[in-house]
Structure 1
Amino acid sequence: MAWSPFLLLSLVSLAFSTPLNRRWDDFVEKHSWGAVIPKGWQFHSSPSPDTLIDLRLGLKSARIDELFHHLGQTSDPDHERYGNHLSKEQVEELVAPHTDTVSMVEEWLAHHGYQGSAASPAGDWVTIRLPVKDAERMLSAEYGLYHHPSSKDTVLRTLSYSLPRALLGHVDTVSPTTYFGTFKSMRATSFLMPEVDLDPDAVPPATCDRRITPDCLKTLYDAANYTQQASSRNSLGVAGYLDEFANRADLQTFLRQFVPARTGTNFTTVRVNGGGDDQSIPGVEANLDIQYTVGISAPIPNTYYSTGGSPPFNPDSNTPTNTNEPYLDWLNFILSQSSIPLVFTTSYGDDEQTVPPDYATKVCDLFAQLGARGSSILFSSGDDGVGAGDCTTNDGQNRVQFQPEFPSSCPFVTAVGGTTRTNPEVAVDFSGGSFSNLFARPDYQTAAVTTFLNQLGTTNNGLFKYVFRYIRQTFLTLFISISKTGRAYPDIAAQGTNFQVIVGGKVTSVGGTSASSPTAAAIIALLNDVRLAAGKSSLGFLNPFIYKNGAAFNDITSGNNPGCGTNGFDAGVGWDPVTGMGTPNFAKLRLVV
């Protein structure tokens, strides 16, 4: 791959020697919000023209369709290649840009006096540091500083950007441009709940309707009597952001109180992009995640990834500021590692309609790369049912429409909804679930979702009919309307209320699908243990396995997920957009892995 500093002089010479061969001022709009600032944001001020920005180019991968083909085969339990995951090098070979793409982008950068540096091991992401005034000229854009009052975040973004026509089909996305999402502005998928007084002598399962502990979850999901056999070859990762730090002292208090046999078990913290590890500031979200992944999966090694990238805003600064976007730093870091955890859990999400399609698709492809390498990627499905607030569209028409969440809507992640109560489990009313307006329904869920839609009939008609499929073409990006054929989520569910978490040495009750995702991830880690002990590979990308083994999940048949002024969807027999295929039954699942 190129992106070498030694190429700069030759590329600059090339640019000056062929000024008429390429029209770098013939622009085609890549994405625009029009004149409407995304909801929740306000224009703050214009940046200094000399403010530096780290511009990232997501280049078109030459053989990305081959990656999807491999992933489809290696994740299909009925295929002879099931479990034969790709190596890091094989994935990088498939997602690397074509040499023509590299040459074209280098020529464009050199024309403006710049060179790029590889920001990903495959070279499909390139970074350029440059003043805002040059970024505006190169992208036919106008950057501004925008403020998000509720999160107090201020970012450098533009309402629209364009690319030279010659680059269409070579550059998939540019960031930061029109995606206003940050982890600070995203809705949290966990929240504090009222404390519950219980009989101190009561034990699971009698206590579990009102207070969830690891013993409750292992009993409920039939994993209480399993003993790990291949822990040294297994691994589980928790993605953390927003200066949320998992506290080691709190973990020991948690284990002593709730999992005494695992007292002394710890986790590893890996810092990404300036992420911290301040043990004096325990995070509710971080502690929830690590206490339940460790509490259920130990002694399987757990790693907490503390990802930074949200520097304090300083309008007078001449250094890159607030140009980070969710997931990119973490994903490119993970993909650069030679060895990665076999399961990941993440608990953040945003309205899909606020994420530009080019950015969402490129990030979704990065999750596919992780799946192809044998990792299972789980995301909480969100805590707003079918949508929060007034649920109006941001396309200028102000239609009321269900609001799916991203990344849960990405077909290469496993979205985890929420349940409550234990005898029986029922869908919790905040469980996020709907149909994507961006990603087409993948084949692995066609049968299950079609059955649900046939039973649904005309209920909620018009609230999730504006569905689109993203079509990649060499020189043009199209959106084709397809009624009710969007990627459906969640895929599975797990408990999501009354989790007992130690924060600052004290018990706190926490709820949300942020509790559901680490719970499910820990169960998947136990299933990987079963496979590894039998000499098999990890489960990897889970969804084809889930939909072909629905009978191994506890079907949740009551409850709903209201939102947008409606009752949302109802949980019922089979898959539904509240609890997916249901909650995991480890005893059944271990027989089919």
Structure 2
Amino acid sequence: MARSTHVMHRRDSPPGGFVRVGPAPDEHVLKLHLALAQSNITGMQEKLLAASTPGNAQYGKYLSSEEISSFVAPSSDAVSAVAQWLSSHNLTSSVVSVSGDLHELTLTVKQANEILSANYSTFTDQKTGIQTIRTLQYSIPVELQGHLTTVYPTVQFPAKQRAPSSTFSISRARLPSAQKRNIPQSCDLTFTPDCAIDLYGIPKAIPAQMESRLAVAGLQNQNANYADLKMFLDKYRPDIPDSSNFTEDLVSGGYNNQTGPGRELDLEGNLDIQYTVGLVSPTVPVVFVDVGDVDNIDLFMQLPILANALLNQTNPPQVLSISYGLPESFVDAATATSICNSLSQLSARGITVLAGSGDDGVAGYEDPSECHKFNPYLPAGCPYVTAVGGTMSVNPEVAWDTSGGGFSDYFAMPSWQVDAVSAFVKTLPAGYDTGRFNTSNRGYPDLSARATFAQIALNGTFESVNGTSLSTPVMGSILALLNAELIQAGKAALGFLNPFIYANQDAFTDITAGSNPSCNSDGFSAIKGWDAVTGFGSPNYSKLRAAAGLS
């Protein structure tokens, strides 16, 4: 007798740029992730809010891994129901998360079509030529409703991470109202660690503090090259010890290839590592957390694997810099929520999670000349992540004109940003949001840092690149140094940063000029206070230090 089924998720068509080629081969092997319902994720997130809100009696009191598991572990009923369902098809899954809420299942396309009432097909991304296997709809037995929140990859589509751009096109319009700083003008078109030090007041002389550690995410087969790092430090930080370097944490088959895989697979990792080691050494150790891409898994599968690898550590790094993202529209709401919940567990552990806001303005992955609806980014739009936008220039620093920013389509506006974001929304032209974005949802970025003309060493030569892949590690470095000072003073590390940011907006240099036009619109403009292109602006180390109680 056939089971009654419930359609979990469906999409009418693939995302823009993808075309269906035909049915997927029956014997092609898939690796599916099953996200089981978490018992009390809301309760954990309430504890997180208390621990991260300045002035709260619980401020700084983050949760242990065991405490987090008590909130997010699935019920025994959920575990049993999923096991019975798979057993009826002669299949078994393995647990791949600390709390048991994420399972992995290996099976063929034919088996996946059967158990999910799906129609897996081959799709081609016309922008890259890369083929992927997905279905536009899937179902689960009705008895699994409430026990299983999402299965992927199903209706979620991969977005190839764009490498930081080495070409440059910026409108040099007059920007009269921006706040000026006395920074060497050479930093406008040639940005180096010394420029970051001057621009943000980053100290060079903090004693080594090994308890403060900074993690850099290495995803989608990106590598960080040791020889290129040495070349970079020799030129731009000859004042730090020759031994300055990074360590590796290889996760789920991760492999940091040093044998010259090529520019595209070294660019992201090199930029991230060079602008962390180059700013925090020798004070703070840097670890490159490389998540394997052995089965060509997608970013939305790598992020929970990354989160669980750090959750499983007894003493994880206090800051995680993620320079990767994909449009929310490429995944369904349940999968986006599952990813966000994984990252919220890191925040509850006391880890500051940073993510770049994207490099395509409000267009996301869409053609900026053809789109109308704005396309928010994930994980930047997750409320439990600190989203880092991009700036450009010096004297004054202004919004980078392709920095991502806007409003999530999936996540509600959190309490800590209601006042600031509502004030910004009131400045928008009447009807500007209609059909474009939802002003009642989470606004991002939260803050910004320099995103242009970063000098990096790449495959034995120097290049100039742009992207929030610069902004994010620079901000991560600043926070890691602040944590080093806090730990030396016997205080807790900053942890989940967003409530602190919105309570201490004066610790940032307000960016009041520039915008990110695309999607046949003006995008968003930088204005006084919070805005959806630069957040509260760029960091001021001495003011952040005082806000953290170090003055």
Tell me, yes or no, whether TM beats 0.5: yes
1:435 partnered with 2:407: yes
Match in the other structure for 2:226: 248
Match in the other structure for 2:379: 407
Query: Does the C-alpha gap of structure 1 residues 176 and 24 become closer, same or farther in structure 2, counting only changes over 3 Å?
Result: farther
2:44/2:68 contact within 8 Å kept: yes
Q: Distance in 2 between matches of 1:97 and 1:459?
A: 43
Q: Determine which of 174, 192, 212 is the counterpart of 1:213.
A: 192
Q: Distance in 2 between matches of 1:24 and 1:213?
A: 64
Q: Distance in 2 between matches of 1:115 and 1:512?
A: 42
State the one-letter code of the partner of 1:419: T
Match in the other structure for 1:191: 165
Q: Distance in 1 between matches of 2:311 and 2:405?
A: 28
1:93 partnered with 2:70: yes
1:236/1:301 contact within 8 Å kept: yes
Match in the other structure for 2:311: 335
The alpha carbon displacement at 1:322 in A equals 7.9
Match in the other structure for 1:27: 5
Q: Determine which of 427, 430, 443 is the counterpart of 1:455.
A: 427
Query: Does the C-alpha gap of structure 1 residues 365 and 229 become closer, same or farther in structure 2, counting only changes over 3 Å?
Result: same
Match in the other structure for 1:237: 215
The alpha carbon displacement at 1:229 in A equals 3.6
1:557/1:571 contact within 8 Å kept: yes
CA deviations 1:415-465 (Å, max 9, x no partner) are 111111111111110111111111110001001001111222426231434
1:180/1:354 contact within 8 Å kept: yes
1:391/1:401 contact within 8 Å kept: no
Q: Which has the larger radius of gyration?
A: 1
Query: Does the C-alpha gap of structure 1 residues 260 and 156 become closer, same or farther in structure 2, counting only changes over 3 Å?
Result: same
Of residues 277-286 and 138-147 in structure 1, the stretch that sits farther from structure 2 once superposed is 277-286
Query: Does the C-alpha gap of structure 1 residues 81 and 293 become closer, same or farther in structure 2, counting only changes over 3 Å?
Result: same
Q: Determine which of 16, 22, 27 is the counterpart of 1:50.
A: 27
- 1:500 match: secondary structure: strand
Q: Distance in 1 between matches of 2:134 and 2:146?
A: 23
Match in the other structure for 2:524: 569
- 2:477 match: secondary structure: helix
The alpha carbon displacement at 1:527 in A equals 1.3
The alpha carbon displacement at 1:132 in A equals 2.2
1:428/1:561 contact within 8 Å kept: yes
1:305 partnered with 2:306: no
Match in the other structure for 1:591: 546
Query: Does the C-alpha gap of structure 1 residues 69 and 130 become closer, same or farther in structure 2, counting only changes over 3 Å?
Result: same
CA deviations 1:540-590 (Å, max 9, x no partner) are 111111010000000001011101111111101100001001100000000
CA deviations 1:62-114 (Å, max 9, x no partner) are 01111111111011112111111111111122110011111221222222222
2:21/2:123 contact within 8 Å kept: yes
1:309/1:324 contact within 8 Å kept: no
Match in the other structure for 2:362: 386
Identity, % of aligned pairs?
40
The alpha carbon displacement at 1:28 in A equals 1.1
1:259 partnered with 2:233: no
2:371/2:519 contact within 8 Å kept: no
1:230/1:533 contact within 8 Å kept: no
Match in the other structure for 1:474: none
1:158 partnered with 2:135: yes
Q: Distance in 1 between matches of 2:235 and 2:196?
A: 15
1:527 partnered with 2:482: yes
State the one-letter code of the partner of 1:356: D
How many residues are matched?
529
State the one-letter code of the partner of 2:209: S
Query: Does the C-alpha gap of structure 1 residues 459 and 256 become closer, same or farther in structure 2, counting only changes over 3 Å?
Result: farther
Q: Distance in 1 between matches of 2:244 and 2:167?
A: 27
2:219/2:302 contact within 8 Å kept: no
Query: Does the C-alpha gap of structure 1 residues 495 and 399 become closer, same or farther in structure 2, counting only changes over 3 Å?
Result: closer
Match in the other structure for 1:296: 279
1:187/1:350 contact within 8 Å kept: no
Match in the other structure for 2:173: none
Matches within 5 A, 1:465-484: 465=437, 467=438, 484=439
Query: Does the C-alpha gap of structure 1 residues 279 and 427 become closer, same or farther in structure 2, counting only changes over 3 Å?
Result: same
1:253/1:502 contact within 8 Å kept: yes
Query: Does the C-alpha gap of structure 1 residues 24 and 187 become closer, same or farther in structure 2, counting only changes over 3 Å?
Result: farther
Q: Determine which of 59, 70, 86 is the counterpart of 2:36.
A: 59
Q: Determine which of 140, 148, 153 is the counterpart of 2:125.
A: 148
What is the root-mean-square deviation of aligned Cα atoms in Å?
Answer: 2.2
Q: Distance in 2 between matches of 1:568 and 1:156?
A: 33
Structure 2-normalised TM-score? 0.91
State the one-letter code of the partner of 1:167: L
Match in the other structure for 1:200: none
Q: Distance in 1 between matches of 2:362 and 2:457?
A: 31
Match in the other structure for 2:177: none
Q: Distance in 2 between matches of 1:236 and 1:329?
A: 18
Q: Distance in 2 between matches of 1:323 and 1:181?
A: 7
Q: Distance in 1 between matches of 2:2 and 2:393?
A: 61
Q: Distance in 2 between matches of 1:559 and 1:152?
A: 35
Match in the other structure for 1:272: 251
Match in the other structure for 1:10: none
Q: Determine which of 320, 328, 347 is the counterpart of 2:323.
A: 347
Match in the other structure for 2:513: 558
Q: Distance in 2 between matches of 1:194 and 1:559?
A: 16
State the one-letter code of the partner of 1:256: D
Q: Distance in 2 between matches of 1:24 and 1:258?
A: 67
The alpha carbon displacement at 1:401 in A equals 1.4
Gaps of 5+ in 1: 1-22, 196-202, 313-320, 393-397, 468-483
The alpha carbon displacement at 1:348 in A equals 1.7
1:435/1:464 contact within 8 Å kept: no
Matches within 5 A, 1:354-393: 354-388=330-364, 389-390=366-367
Q: Determine which of 6, 9, 16 is the counterpart of 1:39.
A: 16
2:248/2:289 contact within 8 Å kept: yes
- 2:427 match: secondary structure: helix
CA deviations 1:13-56 (Å, max 9, x no partner) are xxxxxxxxxx872111111112x232222223433323332222
State the one-letter code of the partner of 2:385: V
The alpha carbon displacement at 1:331 in A equals 2.6
Match in the other structure for 2:114: 137
Match in the other structure for 1:479: none
State the one-letter code of the partner of 2:492: S
- 2:455 match: secondary structure: strand
Q: Distance in 2 between matches of 1:582 and 1:125?
A: 37
Query: Does the C-alpha gap of structure 1 residues 323 and 558 become closer, same or farther in structure 2, counting only changes over 3 Å?
Result: closer
Of residues 107-116 and 490-499 in structure 1, the stretch that sits farther from structure 2 once superposed is 107-116
The alpha carbon displacement at 1:244 in A equals 1.9
The alpha carbon displacement at 1:330 in A equals 2.3
Gaps of 5+ in 2: 170-181
Structure 1-normalised TM-score? 0.85
Q: Distance in 1 between matches of 2:410 and 2:462?
A: 41
State the one-letter code of the partner of 1:170: H
The alpha carbon displacement at 1:355 in A equals 1.4
- 2:533 match: secondary structure: coil
- 1:207 match: secondary structure: helix
Query: Does the C-alpha gap of structure 1 residues 550 and 456 become closer, same or farther in structure 2, counting only changes over 3 Å?
Result: same
Of residues 448-457 and 330-339 in structure 1, the stretch that sits farther from structure 2 once superposed is 330-339
Q: Distance in 1 between matches of 2:384 and 2:230?
A: 34
